[in-house]
Each structure stands twice: as C-alpha cells, then as structure tokens.
Structure 1
C-alpha cells in the first residue's frame, strides 16, 4: 500500500451509490429493489472512503460469479485498488489477505476446505443438539426468574459460540475468557482491544492445536490434524479461527431474526406454545427474506469480462449481494407467497467457496435448538417493546438486531435434565 489516500470518487462509475447509510440498515430489501430497477443485476457502488466496486444483485449473476472461481477469484491481492486503501480502512479485516482457507484458490482451497468439511462431518448432530440443549438451558436459567431478557445478548450470541468451542474441543475452563475475546475480535466490545483480543484467541487455538497434535481426541481440531491433506499447525490454527468466526455471528443473527419473526408475525405467533413445524418454516423464511449475511466481500476479476451487461475490468472488486439475490423477481416471481420449502437461497453462498458441508446443517441444529428450547421453557414470551422500535445493527454486511427485549412469566425452575 503505497498511497494511504482513500479514493474520493470513481470516474468509471459516475452514478455509483455509496454502500452505507441507514437505508441499508433498516429497510435493505426495498433499497435492493430500487437498485435493481435503476442499475440492473450489477450495480456500481462505492465502499468506505469512496473506493469503487460492484454489487452483484441478480440471483443468476451471483450464481455465475460464485460458480466460476477461475474468472472471479478469492485472493484479494488481485485487487487493483490497493494503492488507494489507507492502513486504517474499516473493511481491511475483511479484504486484507490472510493465510486462511478463506483466501485460497484452486487445488490449495480444495485441500484446505476438504479437511474442514471432513472434520465437521465427524460431528455427531445428535450430540451437538444435546449439548446445545444443555447450554440453552443454562443460559435461560440465568434470566428465567427475572421475567425479562435481551434474547440477543442473553441467548442468540453466546450459544453458537459455545457450540463452536465445544466442537473444536476447547476446554470448558477457558470458555468465559475465550467468549469475551472472540466476541471482541469479531465485533465492538467496549473497553476491549480487538487486536489484543484476537491475539489471545490465536494463542489459545495454538495451544489447543499443540495439545491435540500430541494427544488427539474426538473433536474437529484432532480430525483436521489427522486429515490426509497434511495441514500444518499454522494452517489448522488459521482455519479453526475462520470456522469459529463463521459459526458465531451468522448463526446468532439467524437465531435472533427467527425469534423476531415468530414474535412479530401472526402466522408464527399463534403457534408459539404448541407447533414445532413453524420453527423450521421460520428458520427457512429468514434465510430468504432476512438472511444474516446480507452482502459478502468479495471476489476479484481475474481478467476483463462482462457481467449483467456491465464491463468488469481485471482486478475489479465484486461484492456478493446475497440478500438481494434471494429476492430477485427473475427467479422468485411469486415471492409474495413466501419461500415455503424452497431451500435454493444464496444465504450460504454457492460454489467452491460456499459454507463447507455440513456447516449449514450444524448451524441449523444450533439455531433450531436455541429457538425450540426457549419456547419450551418460556411459552408465553412476548416482545417488551413495539416491533417498530426494534433497532437493526448499523451494518450493510450482517443483518441482525441490536437487542431483542422480551417479557414472560418468571420461571424459577431450572431446565430439565436432557
């Protein structure tokens, strides 16, 4: 990075729209519809600091980009705009090259992603559900007697992280400090330095890897170390951090967005105290209509090409508009009827760089368990504020609530033995 001066405009994109502001935070679906109408399936945008990029809005276009790694690659070092990126650029943690599976390509990506997939495949989903039930009960026990809670802070955020920690085999004694540091490294936590927090997380993962290298057990870390791909300790450390991070924030918002839907939509609210099919329907509807990962940065063009009627130049950055693609009328002309049992959404992306199998299944086990245990324990739970007062977090990348305050009849009994 030779020039720390951020871009102030984009001569090639005179009509580019800044990818920021409250329009993305509160009513993104309406904004995506307007952008699609004005720009088509690929829109010129400006990232933080006026850095130009493309937002891929069309379902077929997102499918094309994610399915053509040789043309739209993942290694961000291909970007031609690095000279315009300042060292404190807000998006640097997401696009700055790291030696993790997220930025690998071709055979190297298949080697690393294959090891992750097979390690995750070894997770017994019945054991995972049982573990999540116990954790959910413990979390709910902490607030059940008060008659009120913030379901984001008290349930949705900690449960996926605790599940991920269990899957990789981290000892329970380190859980509390690790949760704090992981949360701080992934998000803003007042009074905690995110860089120092990330370093502590990395140190703990390195210690875990060293332990499992000398004495493997039945966990994801051990299976990655024993995989025929022959991953180095450093590769396992980097990829475990990616796995834990990917499990936490999206799954937490999937839980929160699902609870919000069920507490505000009469189609689901009327079955809160009985039906179980509605939980699965709500989880699927959220992935289509309010997906946790709204936009993902990104892909970089390997050579000049055409996409959605736009001329894409070598080194251009493309942002995957996953939420916009899910509501593309070209593939969902009957979107008003709801998604039903359709699972062809883009919420877990597509292609070689999609969430590795069986990560989406594991995330659903975690999310479904959180919702079902809450409704079992507190069947009369209701919002503590009008639905219109719920505040979405100020992010164009993730879709999640700042808080989900609820009220219920206090319960002083601890969770059942499961």
Structure 2
C-alpha cells in the first residue's frame, strides 16, 4: 500500500456503519478527496474510491485495475496476515467474479446468454406465487418480521427455481444459505450440503437438460466444465444483495409517507422507487477489490502497481459532482449499484424482477402495513460491505391465506455435519439415469472461499 506521510488511515469498520455511514463517507471526501486511505479489519490498508468518475474509471478499465488478487503487492511482500479474516473475499477464483479479459468474456457470455433465456412472464408468475405463499405463513397473525420471514426467503426460492432446483428443494436451499450467512459452528456442514446440491444438479443436467440456468450454462458453446459451471452457480445463487434491496425498499416505503403515497397513488412506479433505494441505500455499499496493474494517477492520488482498491459504491453515489443536494432521482439509473464496465452485474434483470414483485405483492396483500416500532429503533448490520437491516417488524390487519397458509417448513434442529441430502426431484422432473463414464474434470474446491464473503459481508 502506498505510504503517505502525515495522512491518517481511517478504519473501514465499527459502529459507524450502524449509525451514519453516509456521514463517514462525506468526512473522508472532505479530508482526502475522491480517493481515501483506509484500513480494513486485520490492519490491512487499501484505497477507498469515493469519487463517482474515479469509481467508474476503475470499473471500466480491468486492464489497469484488475480483479486478480495475485497482483496484490502487500500480500506478495508478506504484509497481509496469513489468517486475515477477509481473505476469502478477495481470493482468486475460476469464476465470472474474478476473471478478466478473454476468460471473463468466456464466463460472462455463457452467464448472460443463460439469463437472457429466462421467460420473464412465467418467472414473474412463479415469484408472485412464492410471495403469496410466504405471506400466507404470517398473514393471519397480523404481525411479521419482513426481513427473516419474507425478504430473506423469497429471492432464494426464486433463484433456486431459476438454476434448476425443484420446488421441494427451495426451503432446503434457504436453510442452507442462511446457515452459511449466520456463520455459526454448523456453517461448514451447510457449505458441504450446498456444494453437494449444486454438484448433483449439474451432474443431473448433463444427462437430462431442463429449462434452467444450470442446463443452459452446460450446453453453452463456451464449453464450461462442470467445475466451472458450479463455480458460476456459487456466485449467482446467494442473493444477499437482493434480500437487502427488498428490505431497504420496504423500510423506505414504511417510513417515507410521501414516497409511499406516490407509489400507491400511481405517480411513481415500483421500478422508480427501487432505483431511488439503489441511490440512497445500495445493498452493497463497498466492494473489494481491484488491484492496480501499474503505477497510475486516480483523481489526484498516486496509485502504485499492486495497490488494493475498494470501490465505495454508496460514497460514489453521493458524490456532489453527480448528485448535488436536491437532485431528482426518479427515473435516474446512473447509480453504481450494479457496478460498471465489463463486470457490470449480469443478474440485475432477474434481481429487479424479484424485488419489484416482492414489493408489489406485499403492498397488494397488506395495504395497511406499518412499522411495529418507531423508525429510530430499526438497527443496521455493522458491516462496511452490506447495507441491510437486522430486522423489519411490521403490523397489519390479519387476513386469510390465499393458498391455505401452509407453515414454513422448519427443521427439527440444527443440521449436523452429516446433513441429509436434498429431497428427491418433483414428480414432473424425471430422476436422471446413472452417468456414463466421462473424462475426469477438476472438482470444485471445497474451500470456504465462495461462501465466506457473504458471511463476512453480513458481519454476523
């Protein structure tokens, strides 16, 4: 990390992220400009990019600012602790997330083409049914925690169906992913189960393709191996940003009565309201990382080859150069919540459809919904990466379920390391025949790297 005499490094951690992250970004901008020196958990130094133009420059130039953490000079020099708790966030992976250049285009083309084959009308219908079914589990009570009972479940149920899991496996996927996010002692068991679920899915779809993302990735002419398909599924299956996008949108709608009235009165669309959330409270507020491939100047800051950069998406969105006070945000999608350049998030279409349907369905079913606590009592995760609530308690007039109100299937206890395999395929999904012998492919790693980022993002 470049040394700067007399220039203090600000800790990018702590309770400030629960109370006033926007104020912290504003102070850093006033002190340092568009690029601020920060220190991450474990004493690791980095540059936090707070300028909108500067962040966009980094996003658009992977040749100068690479995803490849193997370029990290401080790690090469032994300055990063071997047990650094955030190491898994930046570990180089053979997936769309970490690749650059031709390899990224190979993965990106396959993922984008597969996502482009989604039948949006049919998918929206499935999401609506899932949303109604989740609401049915609490509608008769007249109260709920929208985060744990709705926002944390719906995106995973929808994503499970998209990648090719059966309806019976949906609740199982939710429990497994949430078990990973919780980061408790059983997280490794949940890790193994998720890897087994996706491995079984890919092996089955090699033999019996379906109308799902796993099948489309397998059959794409880019020629992804099974291990690569699994790695890409591991990137797109966890839906923490979508969870918090929904949660943050519902919070704003329940606390900003003007916005709520404009939405329910038809003066603003749900899409427009969701984009305002991505400006004001993006679910990913900071993203690690990029590494400079050569000495360069970013804004007015000298960056050396191998320096570690953190993209401050929330800070860049608030840059006065692009969003001065009073800026009208309705209809403006120029925020950086989806990234930019070659690594623009390919999942934004399905994520938007899930979030939009989640909000629309909830407001339609529970028109008098309101917070169960004063807004000031809502608490945020103390994470510099994720911007999300810890809970969202609400009350409403009790009503009857529309689909019978089947209780959410809860496990009898915490799954042990020998967690049972997922349920068998649904009746309309034929079980695959045993696979014929094939050339061995490199197995996907069993490292915790692919799930630990989400666990650390939530900092739970």
TM-score range, shorter chain: over 0.9
Give the alignment of 1:130-279 within 5 angstroms: 130-185=125-180, 187-188=181-182, 190=184, 192-245=185-238, 248-270=239-261, 274-275=265-266, 277-279=268-270
1:350 alignment partner, one of 340, 344, 348: 340
1:128 alignment partner, one of 117, 123, 132: 123
Aligned to 1:396: 384
Q: TM-score, normalised by structure 2?
A: 0.84
Q: TM-score, normalised by structure 1?
A: 0.92
Are the aligned partners of 2:12 and 2:40 in contact in 1 as well (CA < 8 Å)?
yes
Q: Distance in 2 between matches of 1:32 and 1:102?
A: 26
Are the aligned partners of 1:256 and 1:404 in contact in 2 as well (CA < 8 Å)?
yes
Give the alignment of 1:372-383 within 5 angstroms: 372-383=360-371
1:310 alignment partner, one of 297, 301, 315: 301
Aligned residues: 402
Are the aligned partners of 2:157 and 2:171 in contact in 1 as well (CA < 8 Å)?
no
Q: Does 1:29 align with 2:22?
A: yes
Aligned to 1:71: 64
Q: Distance in 2 between matches of 1:208 and 1:49?
A: 38
Q: Which structure: greater helix fraction?
A: 1
Q: Distance in 2 between matches of 1:310 and 1:300?
A: 15
Aligned to 2:402: 414
Tell me the SS of whatever aligns to 1:197: helix
Tell me the SS of whatever aligns to 1:297: strand
Q: Distance in 2 between matches of 1:12 and 1:194?
A: 43
Deviation at 1:87, TM superposition (A): 4.1
Deviation at 1:329, TM superposition (A): 0.6
The 1:189/1:96 distance shift into structure 2, 3 A limit, reads closer
Of residues 86-95 and 223-232 in structure 1, the stretch that sits farther from structure 2 once superposed is 86-95
Q: Distance in 2 between matches of 1:275 and 1:89?
A: 50
Q: Does 1:296 align with 2:290?
A: no
Deviation at 1:10, TM superposition (A): 6.3
Q: 1:303-324 CA distances to partner (integer Å, 9 max, x unpaired)?
A: 1111111111111100000111
Deviation at 1:274, TM superposition (A): 4.9
Are the aligned partners of 2:114 and 2:217 in contact in 1 as well (CA < 8 Å)?
yes
Q: 1:272-312 CA distances to partner (integer Å, 9 max, x unpaired)?
A: 75547352332111000111110000100111111111111
Deviation at 1:150, TM superposition (A): 0.3
Deviation at 1:366, TM superposition (A): 0.3
Are the aligned partners of 1:13 and 1:52 in contact in 2 as well (CA < 8 Å)?
no
Q: Distance in 2 between matches of 1:182 and 1:171?
A: 16
Are the aligned partners of 2:17 and 2:381 in contact in 1 as well (CA < 8 Å)?
no
Deviation at 1:50, TM superposition (A): 1.3
Are the aligned partners of 2:295 and 2:304 in contact in 1 as well (CA < 8 Å)?
yes
Q: Distance in 2 between matches of 1:365 and 1:345?
A: 18
Name structure 2 gaps, 5 residues minimum: 405-460
